[in-house]
Every structure is written in structure tokens, then in C-alpha cells.
């Protein structure tokens, strides 16, 4: 299949073409970041997960219907056994031109082991979650993370030739004093940097209202030191980018709370159990596992995908509930895919 022979685009009720699928291959993670999950998490039984072959099959159906970008997520995707074989298999769509990009989001802990394999499979860039440059603070945020291991992974990804974007969740009273240092470090390393507002998803054993830091405040602080010029660049996701004149690097902002990005949303999310969420901030979902397993052919699965996209909402309902301190969406980010 080449680019011109891709199937019909998936168009939602608001005329937006769905061209980007984020795929969670596991809800498991080797970190316990304070804004993402509880320390004592109960993960899905392995028997409930789609096999790697089934994940490939679902992804292929989306590609056949015009999806141009696949992002593999978790949990931490690289903790799933033999996950590199999925990247290798999906890489065939890059070779035919049906797929523009195959990429992943990672916490960096396994990248020293897998960076070269990812590059050979066709991955050209990776998003790495890093919320602090300080080892002690990093351990506090992740509950038991090894900062040195993550930094080794980042260096391995850079050495493998992968383009790196650092994702940082901005948290009041936690890492807000590091925002300028992160801009400087990423600029020196040649990494993109994206700041993200904390999102009200799942019970995290803490007060999310205390963590919440509007990125309007973050940007205003940065602009006291740095010159941030808005640019039209996009990587397919919701970040709005600027170019830092002093470093030459890109600095982006993802603002689901202060300014949502729904009007141009081209994304849907598949969980590791085969559930498709048409919106990160809504609970409506479609079961793709049942129609897939009901037939050796992809007809029922294709129909289920099209029906699901016909229900994609206009936007999310995220809100920080300061009165009741409860999440807007009960599922953890690790379930849907970060």
C-alpha cells in the first residue's frame, strides 16, 4: 500500500479527519509518578491484554482507513515482553508509505537497552517523560525512579540518532523552580521541550488541586528570561510551539485545562485491552476486541472502528474540582495511554 492507495479517511461528526492513533500496549509501568497513579496499583491480568499480533491487526485496520501516525504508549511500553517485535512488524507500513510516522512515549528507563532496536524498526523520534533534572527530586516525583538510568536512556536514544522531545508535567511547589533550567538544558542538548498541565485523571493518593500549575504562569515566568516566538510547527499532537531565540530550541505547551486543544483534535486512543477511547477526557468508548476476535476477516472490526469515530465528541470535560478533590475521569492515564 502506498500513500495514494490508503483507504478512506475516518471523519468524525465535526469534520475532523482522525489520522493519529495512540496505542497503549500495557498499563504496567516501572515508575509510580505522583500525578499519574497510586503507589499501590492493581494492574490488568495479562490474560486481558491484546496479543502483540492483535495489536498489529488493529493498528493495520486504522492505517488502512487513513491513519498516518502511530504512537506506542503504556504505562511504559518498553516493559512489555517482546514489544520490539510489534515495532518491527508495524514498520512495514512505513516502508510502503501508508504510514508517515511510528513513534513512542517512554519514561526512559528501558531506552539504553532498546534505542538501537527502535531505530532499526523505523522509529525516528521518541517522547521521554522527565519532570526534574535533580536526582533526589526525580525520585520523589516517580516514587522509586533511578534518575541516572533515565539519563543513560536519553543519551542512548540520542546516540542512536533518535530525535528527542522531553515532556515535563509542570507542578506547583514541586518542579516549578526548574522550568528555566529545563529550557536551558534541552536547548543545549538539541531536544524539544513540552510543558504539560496536570490532568484530573484517576485516583493518585494526593491532592491534585495543590499540584495544578497553569501554563500561562509558566510561560510568563519563562518570558522574563527567554524570548519565545510562536511558530506554526506541529508534531501531530496538541502542543502549541514556540522557538526560543536564545537556544534555538522548540518549547511547547499542552494546556488541557487553561486552553483546551479540542477544536483540531485528530486523535483517538486504543487501550491494551482493545477499548477505543474517542476522547481522553470522556468515558465513552468502543470495544474493538470482540468484533476482532469474532471473525478472521477484518470486516466487523473495520465497521466497529467507523461506528466509534462517528461518536467522537467535540471536546473533553476536564475540570479541577476544588470542592470535592476528585478526578474528572476515573481511569488512570496509564490505562488510556500517556
Q: Read off the pLDDT of residues 92-125 as tens digits, 9 standing for 90 and up.
A: 999 999 999 999 999 999 999 999 999 999 999 9
Rounded-to-integer distance, Cα 25 and Cα 57, Å: 13
Percent above pLDDT 70 for the chain: 84
Rg (CA), the chain: 19
**3-class DSSP assignment, residue 105:** strand
Q: Which residue is associated with the grid cell 471473525?
A: 295
Element (H, E) at 338: none
Q: Which domains does the chain have, with CATH numbers?
A: 3-336 (3.20.20.70)
**Residue 274 reports pLDDT greater than 60:** yes
CA 2 to chain centre: 26
Residues 6+ apart with CB under 8 A from 274: 50, 54, 58, 287, 288, 289, 290, 292
Contact 162, 191 (CB under 8 A): no
Model confidence at 266, in pLDDT bands (50, 70, 90)? confident
Amino acid at each position: 500500500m502506498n500513500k495514494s492507495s490508503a483507504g478512506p479517511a475516518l471523519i468524525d461528526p465535526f469534520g475532523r479527519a482522525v489520522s493519529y492513533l495512540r496505542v497503549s500496549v500495557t498499563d504496567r509501568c516501572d515508575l509510580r509518578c505522583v500525578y499519574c497513579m497510586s503507589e499501590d496499583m492493581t494492574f490488568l491480568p495479562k490474560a486481558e491484554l491484546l496479543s502483540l499480533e492483535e495489536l498489529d491487526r488493529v493498528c493495520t485496520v486504522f492505517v488502512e482507513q487513513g491513519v498516518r501516525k502511530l504512537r506506542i504508549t503504556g504505562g511504559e511500553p518498553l516493559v512489555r515482553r517482546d514489544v520490539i517485535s510489534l515495532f518491527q512488524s508495524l514498520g512495514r507500513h512505513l516502508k510502503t508509505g501508508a504510514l508517515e510516522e511510528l513513534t513512542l512515549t517512554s519514561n526512559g528507563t528501558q531506552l539504553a537497552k532498546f534505542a538501537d532496536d527502535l531505530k532499526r524498526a523505523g522509529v525516528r523520534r521518541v517522547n521521554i517523560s522527565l519532570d526534574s533534572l535533580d536526582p533526589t527530586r526525580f525520585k520523589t516525583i516517580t516514587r522509586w525512579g533511578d534518575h541516572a538510568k533515565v539519563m543513560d536512556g536519553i543519551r542512548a536514544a540520542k546516540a542512536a540518532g533518535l530525535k528527542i522531545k522531553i515532556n515535563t508535567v509542570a507542578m506547583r511547589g514541586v518542579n516549578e523552580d526548574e522550568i528555566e533550567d529545563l529550557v536551558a538544558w534541552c536547548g543545549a542538548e538539541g531536544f524539544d521541550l513540552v510543558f504539560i498541565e496536570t490532568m484530573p485523571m484517576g485516583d493518585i493518593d494526593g491532592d491534585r488541586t495543590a499540584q495544578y500549575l497553569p501554563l500561562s504562569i509558566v510561560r510568563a515566568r519563562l518570558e522574563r528570561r527567554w524570548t519565545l516566538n510562536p511558530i506554526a510547527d506541529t508534531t501531530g499532537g496538541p502542543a502549541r510551539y514556540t522557538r526560543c531565540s536564545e537556544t534555538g530550541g522548540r518549547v511547547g505547551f499542552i494546556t488541557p485545562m487553561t486552553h483546551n486543544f479540542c477544536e483540531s483534535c485528530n486523535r483517538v486512543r486504543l487501550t491494551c485491552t482493545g477499548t477505543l477511547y474517542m476522547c481522553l477526557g470522556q468515558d465513552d468508548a468502543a470495544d474493538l476486541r470482540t468484533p476482532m476476535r469474532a471473525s478472521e476477516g477484518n470486516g466487523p472490526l473495520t465497521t466497529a472502528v467507523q461506528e466509534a469515530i462517528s461518536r467522537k465528541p467535540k471536546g473533553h470535560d476536564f475540570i479541577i474540582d476544588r470542592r470535592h478533590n476528585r478526578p474528572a475521569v476515573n481511569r488512570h492515564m496509564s490505562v488510556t495511554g500517556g
